Structure 1
Amino acid sequence: MRWDYSVPGIPDEYFERGEGIPMTKEEVRALALSKLRVRRGDRVLDIGCGTGSVTVEAAILVGSEGVVYGVDRDERAIELTRRNAERFGVLGNVVLIRGEAPEVLLGINERFDRVFVGGGSERIEDIIRVLWGMLNGGGRVVVDAILVETVVRAVRAMEEVGFRDVEVTEVIIAKGLRTRVGTAMISRNPVFVISGEKP
């Protein structure tokens, strides 16, 4: 599988999916990667990689000069991310680690330029505190959340540890569904995209 474009937003159907394994949908993924401001050569961490859609797109953006770490507590998600990274030809600059955040993060002896948090809403404050020490100066974090409570806790934690320019964007996507007489717009669940930068 190839993605020959220099913009994010690979169609969801290009990815192999797994029962019960979450995936950041294409429009939300494009916005999240834009808010991350991923550059060629960056070191990116994807927490809660699920199907690997963010891991794969970030790996394409950072190129062979960069690296993307995908972390998930579910072995099936790690294996699915591996298959999707292989499918898009980026497995060479992807490192996959199975474990529960934030504990697993303490064992990663690396510094990162960009971090995406797609999972871990139950422990978001602890995750953000650990990430602060793993991020390079000027590094960015983006958190996706579906619960309002997660947004409140994430924003508070980011501001407490020192992130600046903390921003919340709510995304409500509707996709067209062809019917017998026309196109009906079917709404997806709202998603909150929280971003901030380490000075």
Structure 2
Amino acid sequence: MTKEAVRALALSKLALHRAKHLIDVGAGTGSVAIEAALAHPQLQVTAIERNPAALGLLEENCRRFGCPRIERVFGVAPLVVEQPADAVFIGGSGGHLSQLIDWSLAQLTPGGRLVITFILQENLNSALTHLATCKVTGLDCQQLQASTLTALGQGHYFKAQNPVFLIACEKESHHV
């Protein structure tokens, strides 16, 4: 599940207030897809997940949070999605990052937003190298690390979470 602080930044970078369709690749239990759908009732959300257990939790979470309109797709991206997207979130690449970036950019309408999160430095480097060859603008890369107040004996301390890298960019608009 995408941590709350990372999810908040990712959703902000997706600019969903102007989007009609979001594709969530590697949706897991659905934290990004569900929060996006709840915050933007006009938004069509397609959540793609390859793990059957995670997909089951995604379906359960959609019922629990009242998000029946999220289209849940069992499969491995890249796959066929009928409607173009205004935003794509990649939360998991399954080792096919460059291929997923290309597929995501092909799914996006001009000016559409792509947001990708990673925990591995190698994936960050691979994505940045690949995106340098793609027609994107406004490339933004951040590292986030949050800590949570945790009890320890009679006191408290901030327990650090693993750092997460976030890349956000926009597909180039067509120029006439």
Q: Does 1:134 align with 2:126?
A: no
1:80-100 per-residue CA deviation (whole Å, 9 max, x = no partner) reads 111111111111x20011111
Mapped partners of 2:77, 2:45: distance in 1: 16
TM-score (norm 2): 0.93
Identify the structure with the greater strand proportion. 2
1:126-184 per-residue CA deviation (whole Å, 9 max, x = no partner) reads 00111111101110010000011111111222231211111110001110002332211
Aligned to 2:55: 78
Mapped partners of 2:131, 2:58: distance in 1: 28
Alignment of 1:1-150 (within 5 A): 23-39=1-17, 42-63=20-41, 65-91=42-68, 93-102=69-78, 104=79, 107-120=80-93, 122-150=95-123
Mapped partners of 1:156, 1:165: distance in 2: 15
Higher relative contact order (Cα pairs below 8 Å, separated by 6+ residues): 2
AA aligned to 1:112 is A
TM-score (norm 1): 0.82
Identify the structure with the greater helix proportion. 1
Q: How many residues align?
A: 172
1:93-114 per-residue CA deviation (whole Å, 9 max, x = no partner) reads 2001111122x2xx21220011
CA RMSD of aligned residues (A): 1.3
1:61 Cα deviation after fit: 2.2
Cα contact 2:105–2:114 (8 A) shared by 1: no
Q: Please, which runs of 5 or more residues in structure 1 have no aligned partner? A: 1-22
Mapped partners of 1:82, 1:57: distance in 2: 14
Mapped partners of 1:151, 1:72: distance in 2: 21
Same amino acid, percent of matched pairs:
34
Q: Please, which runs of 5 or more residues in structure 2 have no aligned partner? A: none
1:119 Cα deviation after fit: 0.4
Mapped partners of 1:41, 1:140: distance in 2: 9
Mapped partners of 1:77, 1:120: distance in 2: 15
